[in-house]
Amino acid sequence: MVKKLIAEFLGTFALVFAGTGAIVINEVSGGAITHVGVALTFGLIVLTMIYTLGDISGAHINPAVTLGFFAARRFPAKTVLPYIMSQCAGAIVASLILHVLFPASALLGATIPTGPQLQSFMLEIILTGLLMFVILGVSAGAREKGITAGIVVGSVIALEAIFAGPIWGASMNPARSLGPAVVSMHLQSLWIYLLAPTVGTGIGVIACRCVREPGCCSSADQYGLQ
């Protein structure tokens, strides 16, 4: 269990450090990375962490995904809170280091809605639901699905960030939003990015059960790597 928690800490640290770091560097470099580059950074770091840590902890690196696996009866209740605490700790440490490296950055890559909060809330629910639906799809059934699981999950994250990022940040991950918000003290919209992904994962689990055979969403297989 200790190794699993360390893996979740390191995976979420890498996600936030690389992903929000790309946002910060894009700002200080005058847009050298571009929005598409930032979105691809998020997708690629998730892909990398799944292949690096998937056989250790499942590479959730996202509290919403952990809750989704629990709702799908793939994850024991006693492990949910330790996983989420490790993920949030990794995100906060990553944001603290970015703050030291880039003290002039006001937001540190925090997710802030550019439109109405209700709009951002609903979009975050829908896209997190889609993400969880995809994760359950590629992690159910035969073991060989795990070979391409990292590519599929990383791709859907990059896709969602590319088309939806400019509207509300396309977090789909409470830890990813928590770290920058806490360190930069921009907490006014944080509730959106904590609550909406939690609701969205539940919808993703329900959607999986609607289209797949009975029992598909209650397997012990995570990312096909167990």
Q: What is the pLDDT of residue 217?
A: 57
65: Cβ contacts below 8 Å, ≥ 6 apart: 131, 132, 135, 173, 201
Do residues 223 and 150 lie in contact, with contact meaning Cβ atoms separated by under 8 Å? yes
Closest CA to 79 of 60, 92, 94: 60
Distance in angstroms (rounded) separating the CA atoms of residues 78 and 123: 31
- Does residue 226 lie within any of the structural domains? no
Most confident range, picked from 17-21, 143-147, 221-225: 17-21
- Does residue 15 lie within any of the structural domains? yes
- Does residue 183 lie within any of the structural domains? yes
Domain count, the chain: 1
User: Among the listed ranges 20-29, 190-199, 210-219, which one has the minimum average pLDDT value?
Assistant: 210-219
Q: What is the pLDDT of residue 164?
A: 86
Residue 140 has pLDDT above 60, yes or no: no
Distance in angstroms (rounded) separating the CA atoms of residues 103 and 51: 32
Residue 218 has pLDDT above 70, yes or no: no
Q: What is the pLDDT of residue 142?
A: 30
Closest CA to 130 of 107, 104, 153: 153
210: Cβ contacts below 8 Å, ≥ 6 apart: none
Across the chain, mean pLDDT equals 89
- Does residue 222 lie within any of the structural domains? no
- Does residue 142 lie within any of the structural domains? yes
Q: What is the pLDDT of residue 214?
A: 64
Helix H segments across 72-214? 77-101, 117-138, 146-168, 174-184, 190-211
225's tokens: 């790597």
Distance in angstroms (rounded) separating the CA atoms of residues 53 and 118: 35
Q: What is the pLDDT of residue 67?
A: 95
Do residues 182 and 98 lie in contact, with contact meaning Cβ atoms separated by under 8 Å? no
Distance in angstroms (rounded) separating the CA atoms of residues 133 and 107: 30
45: Cβ contacts below 8 Å, ≥ 6 apart: 14, 15, 18, 19
pLDDT tens across 76-135, in order?
Answer: 999 999 999 999 999 999 999 999 999 999 999 999 998 889 999 999 999 999 999 999
- Give the CA distances from residue 34 to residues 27, 162, 163, 180, in Å, rounded to whole numbers and listed in that order: 9, 10, 13, 20
Comparison of pLDDT for 167 and 40, the residue scoring more = 40
Closest CA to 54 of 148, 120, 184, 131: 148
DSSP 79: H
- Does residue 153 lie within any of the structural domains? yes
Name the residue range of residue 31's domain. Answer: 2-211
Do residues 174 and 95 lie in contact, with contact meaning Cβ atoms separated by under 8 Å? no
- Does residue 196 lie within any of the structural domains? yes
- Does residue 197 lie within any of the structural domains? yes
Residue 19 has pLDDT above 80, yes or no: yes
Question: What CATH number corresponds to the domain at position 127?
Answer: 1.20.1080.10
